[in-house]
């Protein structure tokens, strides 16, 4: 492809409204342009790169026996009402009416449509297992579309769905996907951690996310440096350091006056026996309209995804001060669970066995001391509610945990019977009995993966594509269009290399400096510079984008050198 003819609108400066590096570089290198918040047009270079990613995904899906479909994006509301998600999902779903006032939506994901096809067509266990996938546009009206294509409102996803007659079959399908995902991310050059993830209140038993460590990420991942434990912060658990409680069971609960004290810190400063670790923090939520208490150690933070997992309810919010007063008789800052028998109370595991603690008295400006959790608090439901912090200990090996920002590249999910039961997808098993089909669902965001590649592969001058997803492998750059010999040699090299590689020929009438800058910015892995001085000595310059190494290569060695470089560059360690 001749540079003068391909549309690569590079920008010299960073766009003002882009923060993530991949966002800046995708705009600057002319890969994408924004149409609306979270909606991007792919320009030729961006489309070439994303097709590379798609091709890798497709190959690895086919390797595990998946069959490619292409389903509509326009879905009848009826199907989503059948699964119940029409009502569970809020503003994230784009909904519309047709001319007859029928309900429709734009697919955010395709469990419903795939399940409907399976329900209409699958009859017998003999037709199972099935692995179905597609690479298709999704629409999600994200609350905060961010960081360019990393979180779009329209984006492409590889989504797949598995259908098995039993849970053992699901385990096999799940493991196959985990393996395919490892291969996909490695081939794209990205090191992806497989981490335990929260399944959410929507059901399903097990889910694993694939995470790339990056400051541009919106997830937090907890990892152990010593063993292979890795979990999303929404799911992660830890061992907390023990606290010096009184050795003996303390005397009876005592109420004491704490005038104007409303926070954990203020109480710790007020009473030397009430350090944050020795307090019980009482948080009040309205969970499906039921006032519910959540207890944590004073210095710990509640994670709301864990709240949803613990209660199995997605519809919750913090209670208002008025609701607290109505239910407990005091305002936040003086609340506690002692003496509360009629409200559900969830307690974080870190409170197990704690004694002689301080908590609110449910009377403004009063607290209680000598509170022993198991002795004094009724009907506690134990759960993991607190957020792990760096420095906590691993539950498996006791070593220190780290917390890192990550990008979620993919998610694999054991759905179980969630959709087959709701939508009546059954088959006859080998006993002739009708059983619900066991399902899994699995996603990878194509553009998000591409952006994650750029997050891992760039330098001050621009993108540094890994060979596997580079929109072009090589750029051949004649120094000057005026030198007929150099132009002819350059053109010859270009034509020859095109037989095996994707090659750009920079035939623009620009200064060499401009051409080099652009080639660096768009990240072409290899550059061959053809100029009169070199040709006098019978050489061209081979420049490697990643290492910035230049080497003079005799004309008759160009193809061998390129082949050697290509082989080496194709083998990079994922990062
Ligand atoms: P997130 O927590 O980032 O919103 P999700 O849990 O909603 O992701 P899934 O529904 O599991 O994501 O979708 C599967 C994959 O689709 C994700 O792992 C991600 O790669 C991609 N994806 C999801 N939402 C977006 C988005 N708004 N823009 C781009 N890619 C996305
Ligand atoms: Mg989401």
**Distance, first Cα to last Cα, the chain:** 30
Ligand 2 centroid to Cα of residue 471, in Å, is 28
For residue 511, the number of C-alpha atoms closer than 13 Å in the C-beta half-sphere is: 3
The confidence score (pLDDT) of residue 201 equals 52
Ligand 1 centroid to Cα of residue 445, in Å, is 6
CATH hierarchy code of domain 21-190+417-455:
3.30.930.10
Looking at the CA of 443, name the nearest ligand.
1
- Check if CATH label 3.50.50.60 holds for domain 472-569: no
Ligand 2 centroid to Cα of residue 7, in Å, is 33
**CB neighbours of residue 14 within 10 Å:** 14
Residue 52's φ and ψ, nearest 5 degrees, are -65, -45
CATH hierarchy code of domain 254-383:
3.90.960.10
DSSP 365: T
Give nearest CA residue, ligand 1 atom 22: 445
- Gap between the Cα atoms of 527 and 519, Å rounded: 8
For residue 443, the number of C-alpha atoms closer than 13 Å in the C-beta half-sphere is: 18
Looking at the CA of 155, name the nearest ligand.
1
The confidence score (pLDDT) of residue 502 equals 98
Distance set, CA 75 to CA 16, 117, 404 (Å): 37, 13, 38
Ligand 1 close to Cβ of residue 380 (< 6 A): no
3-state secondary structure of 177: helix
- In order along its 575 residues, the chain shows pLDDT tens digits of 999 999 999 999 999 889 999 999 999 999 999 999 999 999 999 999 999 999 999 999 999 999 999 999 999 999 999 999 999 999 999 999 999 999 999 999 999 999 999 999 999 999 999 999 999 999 999 999 989 999 999 999 999 999 999 999 999 999 999 999 999 999 999 999 999 998 765 556 789 999 999 999 999 999 998 999 999 999 999 998 888 888 888 999 999 999 999 999 999 999 999 999 999 999 999 999 999 999 999 999 999 999 999 999 989 999 999 999 999 999 999 999 999 999 999 999 999 999 999 999 999 999 999 999 999 998 999 999 999 999 999 999 999 999 999 999 999 999 999 999 999 999 999 999 999 999 999 999 999 999 999 999 999 999 999 999 999 999 999 999 999 999 999 999 999 999 999 999 999 999 999 999 999 999 999 999 999 999 999 999 999 999 999 999 999 999 999 999 999 999 989 99
Ligand 1 close to Cβ of residue 448 (< 6 A): yes
Ligand 1 close to Cβ of residue 410 (< 6 A): yes
- Gap between the Cα atoms of 22 and 445, Å rounded: 15
Which residue stretches of 329-435 are H helix?
A: 373-376, 418-423
Ligand 1 centroid to Cα of residue 407, in Å, is 10
**Domain regions of the chain by residue span:** 21-190+417-455, 254-383, 472-569
Give the closest residue to 158 by CA, choosing from 421, 420, 417, 450: 450
- Gap between the Cα atoms of 386 and 297, Å rounded: 9
């Amino acid at each position: 492809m001749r540079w003068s003819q391909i549309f690569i609108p590079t920008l010299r400066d960073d766009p003002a409204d882009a923060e993530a590096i991949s966002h800046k570089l995708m705009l600057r290198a002319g890969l994408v342009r924004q149409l609306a918040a979270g909606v991007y047009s792919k320009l030729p270079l961006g489309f070439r790169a994303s097709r590379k990613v798609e091709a890798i995904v497709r190959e690895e899906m086919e390797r595990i026996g998946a069959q490619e479909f292409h389903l509509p994006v326009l879905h009848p509301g009826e199907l989503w009402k059948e699964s119940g998600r029409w009502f569970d999902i809020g503003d994230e779903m784009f909904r519309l009416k047709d001319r007859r006032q029928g309900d429709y939506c734009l697919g955010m994901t395709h469990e419903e449509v795939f399940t409907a096809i399976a329900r209409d067509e699958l009859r017998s266990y003999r037709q199972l297992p099935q692995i179905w996938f597609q690479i298709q546009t999704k629409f999600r009206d994200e609350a905060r579309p961010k960081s360019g294509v990393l979180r779009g409102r329209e984006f492409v996803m590889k989504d797949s769905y598995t259908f098995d007659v039993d849970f053992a079959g699901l385990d096999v399908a799940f493991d196959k996907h985990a393996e395919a995902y490892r291969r996909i991310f490695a081939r794209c050059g990205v090191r992806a951690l497989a981490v335990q993830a929260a399944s959410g209140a929507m059901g399903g038993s097990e889910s694993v996310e694939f995470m790339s460590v990056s400051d541009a990420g919106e997830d937090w991942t907890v990892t152990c440096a010593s063993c292979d434990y890795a979990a999303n912060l929404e799911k992660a658990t830890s061992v907390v350091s023990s606290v010096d409680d009184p050795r003996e069971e303390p005397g009876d609960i005592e109420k004491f006056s704490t005038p104007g004290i409303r926070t954990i810190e203020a109480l710790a400063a007020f009473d030397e026996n009430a350090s944050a670790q020795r307090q019980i923090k009482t948080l009040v939520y309205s969970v499906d309209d039921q006032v519910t208490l959540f207890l944590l150690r004073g210095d710990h933070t509640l994670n709301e995804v864990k709240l949803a997992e613990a209660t199995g309810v997605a519809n919750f919010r913090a209670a208002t001060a008025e609701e607290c007063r109505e239910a407990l008789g005091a305002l936040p800052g003086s609340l506690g669970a002692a003496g509360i028998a009629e409200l559900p109370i969830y307690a974080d595991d870190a409170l197990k066995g704690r004694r002689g603690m301080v908590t609110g008295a449910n009377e403004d400006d009063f607290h209680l001391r000598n509170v022993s959790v198991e002795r004094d608090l009724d009907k506690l439901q134990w759960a993991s509610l607190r957020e792990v912090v760096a420095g906590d200990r691993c539950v498996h090996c006791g070593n220190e945990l780290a917390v890192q920002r990550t990008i979620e590249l993919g998610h694999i999910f054991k759905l179980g019977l969630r959709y087959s039961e709701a939508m009546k997808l059954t088959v006859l098993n080998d006993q002739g009995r009708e059983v619900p089909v066991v399902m899994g669902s699995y996603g990878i965001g194509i553009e998000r993966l591409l952006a994650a590649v750029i997050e891992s592969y760039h330098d001050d001058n621009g993108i540094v594509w890994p060979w596997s997803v580079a929109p072009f492998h090589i750029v051949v750059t004649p120094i000057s269009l005026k030198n007929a010999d150099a132009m002819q040699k350059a053109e010859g090299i270009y034509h020859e290399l095109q037989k095996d590689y994707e090659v750009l020929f920079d035939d623009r009438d620009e200064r060499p400096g401009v051409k080099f800058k652009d080639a660096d910015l768009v990240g072409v892995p290899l550059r061959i510079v053809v100029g009169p001085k070199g040709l006098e000595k019978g050489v061209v310059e081979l420049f490697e984008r990643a290492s910035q190494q230049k080497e003079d290569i005799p004309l008759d060695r160009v193809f061998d050198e390129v082949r050697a470089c290509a082989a080496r560059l194709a083998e990079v360690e994922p990062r």
